[in-house]
Structure 1
Amino acid sequence: MAELAKIDQRLERVRQSDRNDFRDGSPTYDSASIAVVRLAGILERSESARAREVLTEEESRGLQTIRKIISHGGNADMNDEVFWSTVTTYLPGLVRRLRDAVTDESR
């Protein structure tokens, strides 16, 4: 839960930033990259089985694809418009759903 909160904070920093400043090497781009890598890492853990259940197959594949681009392909392969949209529009809701699932599981 604490790691999801940190990811959410990073995503919030990106959402509050100027789109024109979002480019490879900028602090917000780096925050977005770290958020994606850590989120994918959390979901790979065996103790995250319940959290993974809230994701669709498409969401899981999309997250893994963007993580692989960041981790292995280099950001030169990244479409910055899609990345911006993903981390400012899509991922915050996904993280919220994961946090809700973790909270429900701990009850």
Structure 2
Amino acid sequence: MSSADDSPSARHRWRIQGRAEREAPGAPSPAEALLVELDRIQVRLDDVIEQGRPAFFEGSDSYDRATVAVIRLAALFEEPSRFAPFLTTVADDERRGITTTRNIAAHSGYRAMDADLFWQTTTEHLPGVIARLRTEVESAP
């Protein structure tokens, strides 16, 4: 390790820190943060649907947008303490399906993905999950 790597700022630059117990002043509430994330996911799903099935194939912009949407949706379930009150509307089997799809996309590569099933999941199932989550957040006290 060089002397530049020994500096205090370099040693702590990549230290992993857990999420703070309390949100920082001015930070969005979990509900607000979740709504923003749901909007980002929905925009991607809308783009995929608008481009249509012919544009949905490995390596296409549409396919990549669907992959990012699934990865971001699955990430919501990785922070259960932050979003727990809102995630109960998603059934366990749906969570497993989302997580499995994410794992295939992220770890096995696109070749392991059934494009027809992925299209169906992205265009038929995920919009309903997003809508239910949004309703849950918006109806919370």
What is the distance in 2 between the residues matched to 1:51 and 1:81?
30
Give the number of the structure whose residues are more often helix, by fraction: 1
Matched-pair contact (CA < 8 Å) for 1:43–1:51? no
Moved over 4 A (4+): none
**Secondary structure at the counterpart of residue 16 of structure 1:** helix
User: Alignment identity in percent?
Assistant: 39
1:40 counterpart = 2:66: no
Deviates more, 1:14-23 or 1:32-41: 14-23
Structure number with larger C-alpha Rg: 2
**Secondary structure at the counterpart of residue 86 of structure 1:** helix
- Find the counterpart in structure 2 of residue 50 from structure 1: 85
When the two structures are superposed, what TM-score results if normalisation uses the length of structure 1? Answer: 0.94
When the two structures are superposed, what TM-score results if normalisation uses the length of structure 2? Answer: 0.72
Number of matched pairs: 106
What CA deviation, in whole Å up to 9, does each residue of 1:50-77 have, x standing for no partner? 2221111110110110000011111110
Give the counterpart of 2:128 among 86, 93, 100: 93
Alignment root-mean-square deviation, CA: 0.9
Q: 1:41 is aligned with what amino acid?
A: A
Stretches of structure 2 that go unaligned for 5 or more consecutive residues are: 1-34
Stretches of structure 1 that go unaligned for 5 or more consecutive residues are: none
1:23 counterpart = 2:20: no
